[in-house]
């Protein structure tokens, strides 16, 4: 029995002349929990910024040492691992060569080595990633995962050099990125994490670093399957407009498509453990007459080239407006979450550029969307940077005393989504 299950949530009915099909594809995995007896082959690289700024204040470097040690403690016996430190260049500080195999002795030695770290130099993140990629080549059959910590921007390389280094690592390993403090660039780190199918987040206080690193490594240790992809088939005359992950975070996978054939494309999803993810698919079809039915798409989850499970996206054309105008609750929620994330990011970007009026407009829209969705968590986050006069209409004022750290925190949280089960009485709610 496949450990994966795929469900489709949609309104199958289109108006006569309609050509846009929206569907939420939910992928659940079960039975993938990893334990020490059935652990998947894994390789981990922890990348730690030791540029000069990590010593100012010194609490950052001290916390980075503690956090790296905590992550090492989470490694299962048998996992291959290494620690890379980065400044103007990258250096593998443990082991001396290749990858070590985790056990009590290697974990203790790695932690002793980490305790000796000293800060100095600049920041060239692309070179750090390239060093990690070289290490992962030594474990070709493993699930590859890295943690990257920085407190600064990639000033040691030209943007195009960083882009080349990141492109080299795409589909070779996943990387969760963390920025500590307020001097790093959210867009830069988000771009790296997005390309490498990882997460990005801020650590405002170095004291929170140990907990964050522990969580990331524990989650990575729960991954059991690597190389999974969504395979989407569409009929002749139809095409996929986009594929976006919308739960647990918003991530546009459209540009990551690999054509399998003229009508089939694959979208990478990375490694899987016991979890649930939602994907928003939009397919453009050729309109049909009233009463016509069509298989608009077939979605499969593919692991190592083998199909594990599949679901169908069906459409029916109808002149009945009561049917065709019914909005599927899961689709509506995904659309709102994507718009909310975009409004926050646009607002903060405008604010950083000094355009307060545009920032106010976008952030007001974000407040309005969060209010309509009943997203209390997002409203509380936005209150850090705006004063809300009327949430229902999106009337807000930016807080003149909001710090860069506040703005960065709201920005990094913007793509995280919280699954809220819609009210079945108000529409086609998804199953629970």
Tokens coding 95: 């082991």
216 near 44, Cβ under 8 Å?
no
Which pLDDT does position 2 carry in this prediction? Answer: 77
How far is the C-alpha of 141 from the C-alpha of 225, rounded, in Å?
Answer: 11
- DSSP code of 31? S
Q: Which tens digits make up the pLDDT trace of 216-235?
A: 999 999 999 988 999 999 99
What is this structure's pTM? 0.92
Tokens coding 137: 């080549």
94 near 113, Cβ under 8 Å?
yes
Least Cα distance to 195 among 184, 206, 187 occurs for 187
What number of other Cβ atoms are within 10 A of residue 432's Cβ?
A: 7
Mean pLDDT within 337-359? 97
Q: Which tens digits make up the pLDDT trace of 357-376?
A: 999 999 999 999 999 999 99
Tokens coding 374: 């009943």
Contacts of 376 (CB under 8 A, 6+ apart): none
The pairing of beta strand 225-233 with beta strand 264-272: antiparallel
Which pLDDT does position 304 carry in this prediction? Answer: 87
- Domains in the chain with CATH codes: 4-33+226-320 (2.60.40.3670), 42-221 (3.40.50.410), 330-413 (1.20.120.1690)
Q: Which tens digits make up the pLDDT trace of 109-128?
A: 999 999 999 999 999 999 99
Answer yes or no: is pLDDT of 427 > 50. no
For 151-261, list the strands marked E by DSSP.
174-180, 200-203, 225-233, 239-247, 251-252, 258-259
Mean pLDDT for the chain overall: 94
């Amino acid at each position: 029995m496949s450990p994966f299950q795929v469900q489709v949530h949609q309104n199958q009915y289109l108006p006569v002349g309609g050509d846009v099909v929206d569907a939420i594809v939910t992928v659940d995995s079960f039975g993938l929990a990893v334990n020490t007896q059935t652990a998947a082959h894994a390789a981990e690289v922890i990348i730690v910024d030791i540029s000069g700024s990590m010593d100012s204040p010194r609490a950052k470097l001290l916390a980075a040492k503690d956090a790296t040690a905590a992550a090492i403690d989470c490694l299962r016996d048998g996992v291959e691992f290494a620690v890379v430190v980065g400044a103007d260049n990258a250096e593998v500080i443990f082991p001396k060569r290749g990858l070590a195999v985790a056990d009590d002795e290697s974990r203790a030695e790695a932690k002793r080595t980490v305790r000796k770290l000293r800060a100095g130099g600049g920041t060239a993140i692309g070179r750090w990633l390239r060093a990690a990629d070289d290490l992962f080549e030594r474990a070709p059959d493993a699930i590859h995962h890295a943690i990257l910590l920085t407190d600064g921007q990639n000033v040691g390389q030209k943007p195009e050099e960083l882009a080349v280094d990141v492109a080299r690592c795409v589909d070779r390993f996943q990387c969760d990125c963390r920025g500590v403090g307020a001097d790093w660039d959210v867009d830069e780190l988000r771009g790296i994490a997005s390309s490498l199918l990882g997460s990005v987040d801020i650590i405002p206080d170095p004291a929170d670093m140990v907990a964050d690193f522990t969580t990331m490594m524990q989650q990575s240790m729960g991954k059991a399957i690597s190389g999974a992809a969504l395979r989407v088939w569409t009929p002749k005359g139809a095409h996929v407009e986009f594929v976006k992950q919308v739960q647990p975070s918003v991530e546009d996978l459209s540009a990551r498509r690999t054509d399998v054939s003229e009508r089939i494309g694959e979208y990478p999803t990375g490694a899987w453990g016991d979890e649930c993810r939602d994907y928003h698919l939009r397919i453009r079809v050729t309109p049909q007459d009233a009463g016509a039915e069509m298989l608009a798409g077939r979605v499969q989850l593919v692991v190592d080239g083998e199909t594990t499970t599949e679901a169908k996206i069906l459409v029916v054309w109808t002149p009945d407006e009561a049917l065709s105008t019914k909005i599927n609750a899961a689709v509506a929620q995904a659309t709102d979450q994507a718009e909310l994330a975009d409004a926050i990011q646009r607002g903060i970007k405008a604010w950083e550029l000094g355009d307060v009026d545009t920032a106010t407009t976008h952030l007001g829209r974000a407040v309005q969307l969060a209010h309509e969705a009943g997203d209390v968590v997002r409203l509380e986050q936005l209150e850090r940077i705006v004063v809300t006069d009327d949430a229902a209409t999106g009337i807000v004022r930016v807080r003149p005393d909001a710090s860069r750290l506040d703005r960065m925190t709201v920005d990094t949280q913007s793509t995280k989504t919280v699954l809220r089960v819609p009210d079945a009485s108000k529409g086609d709610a998804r199953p629970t």
